[in-house]
Amino acid sequence: MTRYRGNRLNTESLWYGLYNKSIELGMWNPEALMDEIGFEEDKEIWQNLDDKEKEQVRRILVAFLDGEFEVGDDAVHHLQTIMDAPCLEDNEMKQMYMTSFALTEHKHTQFLDIYIENVMDGFDDYTDLNPRGEARVPIVEATGVGEVYEHQGRLTAKASETHDPVDIARAAACYHLDVEGILARTGFFAINKMSANAPLPLLNRGFKFISTDEGRHLTHGVRLLQELLEKERNGEPEYQGVGDAIVEVLNEDTPPMAEFAYMITDSVDDPLDVGFSNLLMRGGEFVDGMYNESLDLDYDSMEYVERIRHRYQDIDDSEIQADLEKLREEYQVKRGA
């Protein structure tokens, strides 16, 4: 992983390796990419999409935008502190990696925010209010995606205060497995599918970089959880409950995940052919890969798929529309005040 040895630094550490990789691979420059490719072609393709196609692209991008904003915020305020927890090994290298981790999340926000502003015709924009929790993009808040981000904020805040291994497992499960794993990866899959009919060159290049960065983030999350699980399995008392906590968090986040998939497909009639069932199957594969192959948790991924399907069947679009209206009114009132 490295050719060099240090004195203070453990250059053999996985986290040193992730840090080193981020210096090299994570240093793509969003503005340089924009200079190189330009906005013109994306703008032209965007303007030729019909209203529903635009709405589908817009929904997925604002879900990412709110998500990147919140993971960036939680990385700085909470993950950085969690990496100092005495129950974790290799604290210094983990903390060192976390600096580049947070930087990458901010770059993702930077890319998406500038892209949306320059290529698309804007969106329900309430960023003059506090976008964190108080004024997420209405469609993100009206469907369950906002709930997952909220959950992530609560769990990472708690773990950063308690430094308890089970709390850390909950926080990492929500942040890395649910948000960066299942939600982001099914999102990347949807972006890829959409690009067949809406081949936005700058967007697709940006997302290639984002998904490579997220691959490292996921490696960090999975290895962190493996470390905690190993101690639980070795019978160390403080770590008991880690495995159950990881699965509980997944179960808590499953219904909102179904709403996310619905929000970016059938609720706009899926004009760009993403396919709700494609997302469902991809999600099931990710769950199987992470929870069973990587973490050996013996989780029934078909149960996950069934829970998503049930929530999907229960979704009442008129409720989402009513929530959207209510939120817009609330935001207007806040803005007026």
Site residues, Fe ion (CB under 5 A) = 68, 105, 108, 180, 214, 217
123: tokens are: 């969106």
Q: Which is nearer to Fe ion, 108 or 282 (CB)?
A: 108
- Residues 209, 206: Cα–Cα separation, whole Å: 5
Residues 180 and 214 sit within 8 Å (Cβ to Cβ): yes
Q: Which is nearer to Fe ion, 9 or 157 (CB)?
A: 157
Q: Both ends of the chain: CA-CA distance in Å?
A: 55
- Residues 257, 145: Cα–Cα separation, whole Å: 7
At its nearest, how many Å lie between Fe ion and the CB of residue 221? 9
At its nearest, how many Å lie between Fe ion and the CB of residue 304? 22
The single-letter code of the amino acid at 201 is P
At its nearest, how many Å lie between Fe ion and the CB of residue 71? 5
- 18 in helix, strand or coil? helix
At its nearest, how many Å lie between Fe ion and the CB of residue 27? 15
Residues 198 and 47 sit within 8 Å (Cβ to Cβ): no
At its nearest, how many Å lie between Fe ion and the CB of residue 149? 12
The phi and psi torsions of 213 (rounded to 5 degrees) equal: -60, -45
306: tokens are: 């069934």
The single-letter code of the amino acid at 203 is L
At its nearest, how many Å lie between Fe ion and the CB of residue 129? 23
At its nearest, how many Å lie between Fe ion and the CB of residue 175? 8
Q: Which is nearer to Fe ion, 210 or 245 (CB)?
A: 210
H helix intervals, the chain: 14-25, 30-37, 40-47, 51-74, 80-82, 91-119, 138-142, 145-162, 165-172, 184-197, 201-233, 242-263, 276-287, 301-314, 317-336
- Residues 268, 290: Cα–Cα separation, whole Å: 30
Q: Which is nearer to Fe ion, 214 or 253 (CB)?
A: 214
Q: Which is nearer to Fe ion, 42 or 105 (CB)?
A: 105
Q: Which is nearer to Fe ion, 11 or 20 (CB)?
A: 20
Q: Which is nearer to Fe ion, 99 or 162 (CB)?
A: 99
